[in-house]
């Protein structure tokens, strides 16, 4: 079962606005990515349900995280149906992230009191997600949207908390544009751990890169 309550997950994300998003079929590599994230100051991250046997990798990775980084919140992403949500919740997912908005996923997560962050792209989808109990919504794909869109949403719906995923770079300029618009957090994938650095086992370089991104993000939200 989850190691953190819904409220703890939401609070962790709001206090730690960068959420790394990653997947790797090799469990040992996934462990090293998770370790680099933690050493870089990350306290919440998302492992995506992509590729064959992703649930098996997640299960072992979650056990590794609980043992070595007990204060690290680890969720499951790319969850598009209730069956997948149920499976990953059974494997210990602290929260569930979806690229789309499906009520069956909402019902499954709410029944188990698991934090749920659905992917939304319109104001109507965001409103529907909140109606179904989402405390934080994921704006996806971010690269097809803009900070102006977030700012426009916060006008009529100032209570809406948005995490932007897709197209966000771990640079001060990119982070500032989204945070200034009102985003409460960002999900960043391969830009935090480029494939070349992973293949070269440059884990300290990756951790340093993450450390700098975390520093910038927190300074912008201070």
Taking 90 as the threshold, does the pLDDT of residue 51 lie above it? no
The fraction of the chain above a pLDDT of 70, given in percent, is 100
Helix, strand, or coil here: 105? helix
3-state DSSP: the chain helix, strand, coil percent, rounded to 5? 50, 15, 35
Domain 6-211 falls under CATH 3.30.360.10:
no
Over the chain, what is the mean pLDDT? 97
pLDDT digits (tens, 9 = 90+) for 78-110: 999 999 999 999 999 999 999 999 999 999 999
Q: Calculate mean pLDDT across residues 7-23.
A: 97
Q: Is the pLDDT of residue 159 over 80?
A: yes
Which are the contacts of 61, defined by CB distance < 8 A and separation ≥ 6? 27, 30, 31, 34, 47, 74
pLDDT of 128 > 90? The answer is yes
pLDDT of residue 10: 97
- Identify how many contiguous H helices and E strands the chain contains and give both numbers: 10, 9
Q: What is the mean pLDDT of the segment spanning 110-121?
A: 98
**What pLDDT is attached to residue 222?**
66
DSSP-based three-state secondary structure for 165 = strand
Q: What pLDDT score does 149 carry?
A: 97
Q: What is the pTM of this model?
A: 0.95
Q: Which residues contact 15 (CB under 8 A, 6 or more apart)?
A: 43
pLDDT tens per residue, range 165-194? 999 999 999 999 999 999 999 999 999 999
As a whole number of angstroms, the distance between CA 205 and CA 211 comes to 10
């Amino acid at each position: 079962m989850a190691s953190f309550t819904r409220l703890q997950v939401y609070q962790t994300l709001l206090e730690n606005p960068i959420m790394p998003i990653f997947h790797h079929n090799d469990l040992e590599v996934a462990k090293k990515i998770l370790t680099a994230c933690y050493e870089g100051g990350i306290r919440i991250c998302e492992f995506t349900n992509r590729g064959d046997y992703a649930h098996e990798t997640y299960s072992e990775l979650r056990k590794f995280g609980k043992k070595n980084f007990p204060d690290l919140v680890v969720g499951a992403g790319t969850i598009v149906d209730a069956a997948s949500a149920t499976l990953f919740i059974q494997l210990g997912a602290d929260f569930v992230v979806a690229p789309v908005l499906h009520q069956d996923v909402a019902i499954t997560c709410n029944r188990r009191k698991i934090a749920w962050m659905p992917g939304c792209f319109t104001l109507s989808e965001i409103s529907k997600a909140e109606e179904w109990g989402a405390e934080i919504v994921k704006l996806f794909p971010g690269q097809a949207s803009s900070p102006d869109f977030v700012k426009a949403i916060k006008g009529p719906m100032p209570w809406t908390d948005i995490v932007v995923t897709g197209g966000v770079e771990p640079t001060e300029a990119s982070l500032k544009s989204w945070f200034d618009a009102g985003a409460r957090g960002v999900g960043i994938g391969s830009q935090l751990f480029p494939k070349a650095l992973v293949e070269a086992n440059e884990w300290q370089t990756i951790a340093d890169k993450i450390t700098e991104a975390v520093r910038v993000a927190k300074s912008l939200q201070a």
